[in-house]
Amino acid sequence: MSENQQVGDWPNFMTCDQAGNYTNTSERFMRRLASERRIKVCKMGKHVRIERTTLDLWIAANTRQAV
């Protein structure tokens, strides 16, 4: 996420590129997660969209506590 962009500024459904920017990862990584069915996606015709709440849940599920 860029320094000037707030969480509320992100759309509810994001492209893989936007989702990569939101999670500070690459578009390729988001596409891989989707193809491996590790995250839930919405297909709109030939377009793949990822819901922001899905990304938030994925981040929470993969967050590890410091020792």
Tokens encoding 11: 């759309």
pLDDT for position 6: 63
The pLDDT of 35-55, averaged and rounded, is 95
The pLDDT of 19-29, averaged and rounded, is 96
pLDDT for position 19: 96
Domain residues of the chain, as ranges? 11-61
Evaluated on CA atoms 58, 61, 62, 66, the torsion sign reads positive
Q: Tell whether pTM > 0.75.
A: yes
For residue 3, what pLDDT band results from cuts at 50, 70 and 90?
low
How far is Cα 43 from Cα 1, in angstroms, rounded to an integer?
24
For residue 9, what pLDDT band results from cuts at 50, 70 and 90?
confident
